[in-house]
Structure 1
Amino acid sequence: MTANLDLATRCADIAAGTSIPALLHRNATEHPDLVALSTFNTDDSVTWLELRDRVAAVARGLSALGLSPGDRMIISLPSRIEHWVADLAAVHLGAVPCTAYATLSAEQLRYIAQHSGAKILVVNGLPELRRWQAVLGDLPAVEHVIVVEEDAVQAGTTALSTVASDGAALHAADPTVFEEAWRQVRTEQPVTLLYTSGTTGDPKGVLLSHRNVVYQCGVLEGAVAVPDHPRTLAYLPLAHIAERVLGIYNLLYRVGHATIVTDGKQLVAALRAVRPHSFFGVPRVWEKMAAGVQAQLATADPAVLAAFETASGLARESFHARADGKVLAEDQAAQLAALDAKVLAPMRALLGLDEMRWAGSGAAPIPVDVLVFLAGLGVDVLEVWGMTETTGTTTINTPTTFRPGTVGRANAGMEVRLLDDGEIQVRGPLVCLGYLDADGSTQSIVDTDGWLSTGDVGAVDADGFLTITDRKKELIITSSGKNISPAQIENLLRVSPLIGQAVTIGDRRPYITALIVLDEEVAPVWATSQGLPDVDLAALAADPAVHAAVSAVVASVNERLSRPEQIKTFRIMPSAWTPETGELTPSLKLRRRIVSSKHATVIEEMYA
């Protein structure tokens, strides 16, 4: 399937002639006083002109340290304005910035630094510096370590403020050097290097071009109507392709205002304060939001609950009708409008979603029941699909053309096809330059006809909507030869607010089992409502009442599965899974191999 050739042509024309430095120059020239970035709950903010001035200063400072076109620079910073400045400064020199996930181990840091051949390392403060110091002896290519926080600067490192002040003096003496440097940047050059977190094996260094990211911004603009200078939140790591596209490149493209959320616990408060026009969440964000609303409704006054059920029912009907290209009957539409204003709109305002024009979900499958529940609040959460290698989205559901349970249609100019075994292949302008080789060359990742094999398995319906059924390498084949999708089962389990994570086991085994992790926020609240004395996750995992509740969820899920797919037994894990504990990647995807290895004893007990 191929989509929207007119939009594709327009996007290709824009991407062919627009670099990221050109967008920053435009914004600083045409909208100098508009705020570009601010930090939630602080006075820290920069206008577009201030941002460009800071980028110019740091770029000149980095150049004086020897950073040249094509060189790589690793950024080990949290989301803060200095991260944007350092990243864009490198880009203006034609160098290639690479953000490292904060959760990487010392061994993983050593790997990406050695593989990338990075010349400069930018770190935040003492914790980051200490982690890097453990491996710096193995990194002869690193010539300079730049530290953002002044109190962490020590022998052998340089303060970012010093780099900036030295660069500002150079820029003031001769501004033409900076201008000439960024104008030499070509759209086919790399704009960033992203290491895929990977569920198995060593990560791959994905090289994206200016053309890739500007094209992505163009197709998003064509697919989703948001106001000029849209408000957004930047809360995901900038090593994540979604945040990098939305928080940096699309911010520049749309001349938006991004509020940086430095603490994930402040996300709901930030949503309420900023009321963003668009918001992308990984499935767990939406699942937690739905679980929170459901928990509040469980204790609501019966009259309030009844009004919500009526309004929500109509909103869900409208959602399904629009998905089918239809509208509600006139009387139903009028009733929904009245109830929405009275019941649903105030609930959306409490969540900070009352001015939302587009709500997206991606990076992993999201249960359809969660989408439908949120639609009952008047929030259409629309799934997208893609990879770091495809600059984020390859397919997209839009506010006017969507189908729940699918990841939408191909982006303008992109082609999608299925191999005989169901594996999805893609081709088009969003496919990256390739993988970085350790010798600095670029390894192609497409075949001779330009097709990229994604490793995802799916199906395309008659209207061109793609459904992802699984990862090719993650399909379970039981000992009786049955092919089973673990993601389908896990999605059904996670519909329950009580369940935070679930992994289906059964490859080359006689039947399906599951490891279940309680939601660390919802489970204690549920336990308190049930009068349980101990709300610690380990205690709850062993509590008979919790086991009975999870058993009921499993039984309900089994009713929706074929006999070979049904879960025969399960175990509730005693603690949460996080990137730090190893079971999740930094982008919150399951590491199935690590789960199987780390919890092998528990798994074997289920098959004893």
Structure 2
Amino acid sequence: MATSDELAAAVEGQTIAGEFAKTAARRADLTALRWRTPDGGFGEWTWRNYADRAARVAGGLIRLGVERGERVVLMLRNRPEFHVADIGILLAGATPISIYNSSSPDQIQYLASHSDAVVAIVEDVDFLERFLKVRGELPALRQVVVVDDPDGLAPDDVVRFDSLLDVDPVDIEAAAAAVQPGDLATVIYTSGTTGPPKGVMLSHYNVCWTTESTRRAIGFPVEGFRLVSYLPMAHVAERMVTHYFHVLDGTEVTSCPDPAQLAAYLREVRPNYFFAVPRVWEKLYAGVHAALAADPEKGASVWKAMEAGAVDALAPVRAQIGLDDCKVAFSGAAPIPLEVFMLFLKLGLPMSEIYGMSECCGPMTWEPFDVHPGTVGPPIPGCEVKLLDDGEVCCRGGNVFLGYLKDPARTAEVLDDEGWLHSGDIGVFDDGGYVKIVDRKKELIITAGGKNISPANIEAALKSFPLIGQACVIGDMRPFVSALIVLDPEVAPAWATSRGIEASTMAELSRHPDVRAEVERAVAEANARFSQVEQVKRFTLLTDEWLPDSEELTPTMKLKRRGVLTKYADEIEALYA
């Protein structure tokens, strides 16, 4: 196994800007970025086009007065201009920082102020309005740049993105040479369970080291691989996979600005390399189940082929979801239900689960091919992983961040004097040295009887049933375990229609006795996998869908446990009445 020092030697002197210059020269006339055009086709830029635009953006930003070491915030959907702007900012010697597109004016004010942003680049007038509402509270913010303003609605002092491209390009080689490995590459803002968001500082060295580690984990070159970019670029996984890996490895990225359209993009792009959060895999899983249920004869042959391991015979099923040419497929950011994971593995997808956090550039453990289902793999090449006496997972390596921006106290809480990053997760090693995550240290439920229970494992089991879209398990200091359950908004109506159940809304559906009975059956089946004390004794079927970036879910659809416990306090108390 490679050491952290060996990887450091392999990436010595590398920066994202420098590697971009090499990739753009090497792949000059090959496609780099693609996007959907209004006529339904796809537009594309070669690496030469990409480099020219990025170099012009760098020149435009310098003309706006952006200096080396300053910061620029980005509020853009997944589109080619994001990549151009991000690299252009780096070539100007500055640091690009993405913020979630769902951010409110107050959140924008906090993030732009905390990061000392001097320029903001926003997608359209809607995003622009949110910035303008708080611009008076951002004295450091000198300019706002808008990408799309077809009706000319932006105020005169707002800069048009096209005007940045009218400037002479910087010399890419010279601009890249001025960037140093220790320079700040980006800041990833993570929502803390308490207090304001923390700014995770990642250096060029962190990114280059982590890219080299994942290359070694995969074991073969991914240059030219097709990818779809669809998650927010403020999320470390998307930024790493479809931006930094893309730049350093020379992949072809198709931007999907609306995650709801992902299924269609997968079928058209047929990605070779695909990362998704569990909720996306769960939706694909539900779609496969629905398709097989609609054609019982075909379904029976597919299930038979899966059990027999007849991978070649299953190629048409993989093609239906656009993953028939996928060489690397993985899930991360939250636990994936084992049933969902196993379905894709049996379909012949090279499926794996990755584990990590923003503070280690994303990955800490991963094995793309020799998987142990139910685990998140061994440490990535060069990264050391250990468990503390209480089971907390810690890691050390070139992927570990520089610290939290302007927050040495919270940095000291997670990064010790020996360079170990404390994850806050509880894990165990299996006999092969693969890590299995038990749960968040702070989220373990301790029942009134003193039993420690992992809510995430029970929630994953519940969500493995297609009818159940979301679940939150309750039980801390309670006499028994209960759950709040939300129907899947896509699966439930189709399930009801197939059984002659008439309901015009999800609220009506959730109150229907047949639906309730089916959820009871699913809960009972899930309970069979757990000990008596871990089983869900009561549940409430909620009437409202939980949406991304809400009180209940993060933008990447992870559960906001504290938000749920607060919002549904009355429903929870009723379960224990």
Is 1:361 paired with 2:331?
A: yes
**Can you give the 5+ residue segments of structure 2 that lack an aligned partner in the other structure?**
none
Q: Counterpart of 1:318?
A: none
Q: 1:27 aligns with which of 23, 26, 32?
A: 23
Shift of 1:181: 3.1
Provide TM-score, normalisation by structure 1. Answer: 0.91
Per-residue CA deviation, residues 323-372 of structure 1 (Å, 9 max, x unaligned), is xxxxxxxxxxxxx3xxx43x311111111111111100000000111111
Shift of 1:246: 0.9
Give the 5 Å matches for 1:218-297: 218-224=212-218, 225-297=220-292
Kept in 1, the 8 Å contact 2:222–2:249? The answer is no
Provide the C-alpha distance between the structure 2 equivalents of 1:181 and 1:374, rounded to a whole number of angstroms: 44
Mean alpha-carbon deviation: is it higher for 522-531 or for 18-27?
18-27
Q: Counterpart of 1:598?
A: 567
Q: Counterpart of 1:331?
A: none
Kept in 2, the 8 Å contact 1:371–1:380? The answer is no
Kept in 1, the 8 Å contact 2:426–2:441? The answer is yes
Aligned to 1:5, the other structure's residue is in SS state coil
Kept in 2, the 8 Å contact 1:435–1:443? The answer is no
Aligned to 2:334, the other structure's residue is in SS state coil
Q: Counterpart of 1:58?
A: 57
Provide the C-alpha distance between the structure 1 equivalents of 2:19 and 2:321, rounded to a whole number of angstroms: 32
Q: Counterpart of 1:154?
A: 155
Provide the C-alpha distance between the structure 2 equivalents of 1:455 and 1:438, rounded to a whole number of angstroms: 18
Is 1:488 paired with 2:457?
A: yes
- Identical amino acids, percent of aligned pairs: 42
Per-residue CA deviation, residues 252-272 of structure 1 (Å, 9 max, x unaligned), is 121110111122232122111
Provide the C-alpha distance between the structure 2 equivalents of 1:226 and 1:550, rounded to a whole number of angstroms: 45
Give the 5 Å matches for 1:81-100: 81-100=80-99
Shift of 1:226: 5.0
Kept in 1, the 8 Å contact 2:549–2:556? The answer is no
Q: Counterpart of 2:120?
A: 121
Aligned to 1:266, the other structure's residue is in SS state helix
Q: Counterpart of 1:381?
A: 351
Shift of 1:10: 5.1
Q: 1:555 aligns with which of 524, 527, 535?
A: 524
Shift of 1:227: 4.6
Provide the C-alpha distance between the structure 2 equivalents of 1:190 and 1:296, rounded to a whole number of angstroms: 47
Provide the C-alpha distance between the structure 1 equivalents of 2:343 and 2:194, rounded to a whole number of angstroms: 34
Q: Counterpart of 1:319?
A: none
Shift of 1:42: 4.2
> CA 1:258/1:483 → structure 2, altered by over 3 Å: closer, same or farther?
same
Is 1:180 paired with 2:179?
A: no
Aligned to 2:362, the other structure's residue is in SS state coil
Q: 1:197 aligns with which of 179, 184, 191?
A: 191
Aligned to 1:378, the other structure's residue is in SS state coil
Aligned-residue CA RMSD (Å): 1.8
Shift of 1:393: 0.7
Q: Counterpart of 2:307?
A: 313
Q: Counterpart of 2:202?
A: 208
Shift of 1:196: 1.0
Provide the C-alpha distance between the structure 2 equivalents of 1:46 and 1:464, rounded to a whole number of angstroms: 43
Per-residue CA deviation, residues 82-135 of structure 1 (Å, 9 max, x unaligned), is 111111111112211110111222222221112111111111111101112222
Shift of 1:506: 1.1
Provide the C-alpha distance between the structure 1 equivalents of 2:236 and 2:209, rounded to a whole number of angstroms: 14
Per-residue CA deviation, residues 377-406 of structure 1 (Å, 9 max, x unaligned), is 11132000000100011100221x210000
> CA 1:152/1:85 → structure 2, altered by over 3 Å: closer, same or farther?
farther
Mean alpha-carbon deviation: is it higher for 288-297 or for 152-161?
152-161
Shift of 1:163: 2.1
Aligned to 1:294, the other structure's residue is in SS state helix
> CA 1:309/1:587 → structure 2, altered by over 3 Å: closer, same or farther?
closer
Is 1:77 paired with 2:73?
A: no
Kept in 2, the 8 Å contact 1:437–1:443? The answer is no
Aligned to 2:363, the other structure's residue is in SS state coil
Give the 5 Å matches for 1:455-604: 455-604=424-573
Per-residue CA deviation, residues 50-82 of structure 1 (Å, 9 max, x unaligned), is 111111111011111121121111101111111
Q: Counterpart of 1:325?
A: none
Is 1:392 paired with 2:362?
A: yes
> CA 1:552/1:528 → structure 2, altered by over 3 Å: closer, same or farther?
same
Shift of 1:536: 1.8
> CA 1:473/1:445 → structure 2, altered by over 3 Å: closer, same or farther?
closer
Aligned to 2:117, the other structure's residue is in SS state coil
Mean alpha-carbon deviation: is it higher for 488-497 or for 92-101?
92-101
Provide the C-alpha distance between the structure 1 equivalents of 2:110 and 2:72, rounded to a whole number of angstroms: 14
Per-residue CA deviation, residues 404-427 of structure 1 (Å, 9 max, x unaligned), is 000000011111111111111111
**Can you give the 5+ residue segments of structure 1 that lack an aligned partner in the other structure?**
316-335
Mean alpha-carbon deviation: is it higher for 370-379 or for 52-61?
370-379
Kept in 2, the 8 Å contact 1:281–1:362? The answer is yes
Per-residue CA deviation, residues 210-233 of structure 1 (Å, 9 max, x unaligned), is 111111111211122355311111
Shift of 1:152: 4.1
Provide the C-alpha distance between the structure 1 equivalents of 2:158 and 2:86, rounded to a whole number of angstroms: 19
Per-residue CA deviation, residues 554-583 of structure 1 (Å, 9 max, x unaligned), is 111122211221111111111111234321
Aligned to 1:244, the other structure's residue is in SS state helix
Kept in 2, the 8 Å contact 1:384–1:407? The answer is yes
Kept in 2, the 8 Å contact 1:116–1:438? The answer is no
